[in-house]
């Protein structure tokens, strides 16, 4: 959410930003919120004047009563009562206007960074850099669930009976591999100086609306019936929420946290054939990282965060690339975002395994995460990034470490988490 003062003083910049995000239907909202803001400020100004008058009139009543001028005091009391009715109406109007303003401001997109490429959707995202040599082996690579089945490592049929489509049982070596990856990711991030955190897996609605847009909320979040609680779609939501309504000091920053959690997502919409299996599911696990920092440091932290994911995947012998998300692919709260994609030798293309985002002060403004610095109070900047999100990451791992005989190599970095195993041999 952008600053109402900035919108008031720079409506043309806000409108141009809306155009860059190809959301022209939101253009009238800028003028609408400016009009509502003017009415709200006028109501507040009149109300403040009445409150000041009431103080003076109250003193006058006391003085008149002290002088025995009861009739004159009653006349002033009548004036105070009349003003009280007007004041109550103004306060009601002001509350309604501020609620209307907030509702609109929550839908106006954040100002994107000037470096963001302009494009309508993810088809216009821009490749930045590749890491590692993408290889297509001279043997056929099966679909990822078929690889897992060779190890008796997945049971989708039973999961479908128990929970429906979009769920899975991981078994044996594949389940162990899943846990090994997350344990390694935890230690990898701790070694990078991040504080390990296990967050709540449910959050209240005020945190949900503080960390994401309404569109994201509707398409992602599961609501707990009868309670003001939502299952988290990513631990970023819970970890950023940790700082809700707090005042930090300059010396408290940066806050750098890494967390492991299950994630729950509706995943609305139709998906292609390549998103079967465990690619797009309702429940998965993820090692996440977040940063709360001073505004001048957020660009530096943005580069550090996505580089962490690059380095992590390269230690597992997985070729990857980074993509700069174009304006139309950015969620409304984001200033800038980079996707990390892993190479799929079976598909002969890259697919997304993580996303790094700089949200500027948008989340902090919604959640009231403030910093008391030497030059006064200001809103912190927040960032988040995926280190690794199995089981989707397992697709890239299995394909890139598969041998012609069906065995799977275990990279050196992961071997201590797999009981020293250097290779997995299929049961079938």
**Lowest model confidence (mean pLDDT) among 87-96, 378-387, 416-425:** 87-96
| Claim to verify: residue 132 and residue 69 sit in the same structural domain | no
Please report the pLDDT score of residue 78 as a whole number: 73
- 296 is a domain residue: yes
Please report the pLDDT score of residue 168 as a whole number: 94
DSSP 7-31: HHH-HHHHHHHHHHTT-GGGHHHHH
Count of alpha carbons within 13 angstroms of residue 114, beta-carbon side:
1
Please report the pLDDT score of residue 276 as a whole number: 75
Q: Are 95 and 39 a contacting pair, CB within 8 Å?
A: no
Q: Number of structural domains, the chain?
A: 2
| Claim to verify: residue 152 and residue 235 sit in the same structural domain | yes
CA-wise closest residue to 122 among 381, 350, 361: 350
Mean pLDDT within 182-208? 97
Flag whether pLDDT at 355 surpasses 90. yes
CA-wise closest residue to 56 among 20, 80, 85, 22: 80
Reported as a single tens digit per residue, the pLDDT across 244-273 is 999 999 999 999 999 999 999 997 654 555
**Lowest model confidence (mean pLDDT) among 17-21, 64-68, 390-394, 415-419:** 64-68
CA 16, CA 122: separation in Å to the nearest integer? 20
**Lowest model confidence (mean pLDDT) among 8-22, 62-76, 165-179, 185-199:** 62-76
**Lowest model confidence (mean pLDDT) among 15-24, 70-79, 93-102, 342-351:** 70-79
- 116 is a domain residue: no
| Claim to verify: residue 129 and residue 253 sit in the same structural domain | yes
Q: Is 360 left (phi over 0), alpha (psi -120 to 50) or beta?
A: left
Mean pLDDT within 179-207? 97
| Claim to verify: residue 271 and residue 228 sit in the same structural domain | yes
Mean pLDDT within 353-374? 95
Q: How confident is the model at residue 282 (pLDDT cuts 50, 70, 90)?
A: very high
Query: What angle do the packed helices 27-66 and 11-20 form, to 10 degrees?
Result: 150
Please report the pLDDT score of residue 319 as a whole number: 97
CATH code of 208's domain: 3.30.930.10
Please report the pLDDT score of residue 74 as a whole number: 67
- This prediction has a pTM of 0.89
324 vs 1, more confident:
324
- 174 is a domain residue: yes
Q: Are 192 and 287 a contacting pair, CB within 8 Å?
A: no
Mean pLDDT within 307-312? 97
| Claim to verify: residue 64 and residue 136 sit in the same structural domain | no
Domain that holds residue 275: 122-424
Flag whether pLDDT at 65 surpasses 90. no
Q: Are 194 and 235 a contacting pair, CB within 8 Å?
A: no
CA 81, CA 70: separation in Å to the nearest integer? 16
Among 42, 77, 105, the domain-final residue is: 105
- 117 is a domain residue: no
Mean pLDDT within 366-395? 94
- 331 is a domain residue: yes
- 115 is a domain residue: no
Q: How confident is the model at residue 417 (pLDDT cuts 50, 70, 90)?
A: very high
| Claim to verify: residue 314 and residue 368 sit in the same structural domain | yes
Please report the pLDDT score of residue 359 as a whole number: 97
Mean pLDDT within 321-350? 97
Flag whether pLDDT at 410 surpasses 70. yes
How many whole angstroms from its chain centre is CA 240? 8
| Claim to verify: residue 165 and residue 226 sit in the same structural domain | yes
65 vs 162, more confident:
162
- 179 is a domain residue: yes
CA 318, CA 132: separation in Å to the nearest integer? 7
| Claim to verify: residue 329 and residue 355 sit in the same structural domain | yes
| Claim to verify: residue 64 and residue 95 sit in the same structural domain | yes
- 112 is a domain residue: no
Tokens of 127: 């490749």
CATH code of 42's domain: 1.10.287.40
Query: What angle do the packed helices 298-314 and 172-191 form, to 10 degrees?
Result: 140
Please report the pLDDT score of residue 290 as a whole number: 98
Among 71, 105, 139, the domain-final residue is: 105
β partners of residue 203: 230
For the chain, the average pLDDT equals 92
Which residues, at least 6 apart from 303, have a Cβ–Cβ distance to it below 8 Å?
none
Please report the pLDDT score of residue 161 as a whole number: 95
């Amino acid at each position: 959410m952008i600053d109402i003062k900035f919108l008031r003083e720079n409506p043309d910049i806000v409108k141009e930003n809306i155009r860059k995000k190809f959301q022209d239907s939101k253009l009238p909202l800028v003028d609408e919120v400016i009009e509502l803001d003017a009415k709200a400020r006028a109501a507040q100004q009149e109300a403040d004047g009445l409150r000041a008058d009431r103080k003076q009139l109250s003193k006058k009543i006391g003085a008149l009563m002290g002088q025995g001028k009861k009739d004159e005091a009653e006349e002033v009391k009548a004036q105070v009562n009349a003003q009280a009715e007007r004041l109550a109406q103004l306060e009601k109007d002001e509350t309604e206007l501020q609620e209307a303003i907030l509702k609109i401001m929550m839908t106006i997109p954040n100002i994107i960074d000037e470096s963001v490429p302009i494009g309508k959707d993810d088809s216009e995202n821009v490749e930045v850099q590749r890491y590692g040599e993408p290889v297509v082996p001279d043997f056929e690579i099966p679909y990822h669930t078929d690889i897992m089945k060779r190890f008796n490592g997945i049971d989708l049929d039973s999961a479908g009976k128990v929970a429906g489509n979009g769920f899975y049982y991981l078994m044996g070596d594949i389940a162990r591999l899943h846990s090994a990856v997350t344990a390694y990711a935890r230690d990898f991030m701790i070694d990078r100086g991040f504080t390990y955190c296990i967050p709540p897996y449910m959050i209240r609605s005020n945190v949900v609306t503080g960390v994401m847009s309404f569109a994201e909320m509707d398409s992602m979040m599961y609501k707990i019936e009868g309670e003001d609680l939502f299952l988290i779609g990513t631990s970023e939501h819970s970890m950023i929420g940790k700082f809700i309504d707090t005042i930090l000091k300059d010396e408290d920053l940066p806050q750098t946290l890494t967390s492991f959690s299950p994630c729950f997502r509706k995943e609305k919409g139709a998906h292609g054939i390549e998103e079967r299996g465990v690619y797009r599911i309702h429940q998965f696990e993820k090692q996440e990282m977040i940063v709360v920092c001073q505004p001048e440091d957020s660009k530096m932290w943005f580069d550090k965060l996505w580089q962490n994911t690059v380095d992590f995947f390269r230690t597992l012998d997985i070729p990857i690339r980074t993509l700069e998300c174009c304006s139309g692919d950015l969620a409304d709260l984001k200033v800038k975002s980079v996707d990390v994609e892993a190479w799929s030798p079976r598909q002969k293309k890259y697919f997304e395994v993580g996303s790094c985002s700089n949200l500027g002060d948008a989340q902090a403004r919604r959640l009231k995460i403030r910093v008391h610095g030497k030059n006064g109070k200001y809103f912190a900047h927040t960032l988040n990034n995926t280190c690794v999100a199995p089981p989707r990451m397992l697709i890239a791992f299995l394909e890139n470490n598969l041998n012609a005989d069906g065995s799977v190599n275990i990279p050196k970095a992961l071997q201590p988490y797999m009981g020293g195993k250097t290779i997995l041999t299929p049961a079938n």
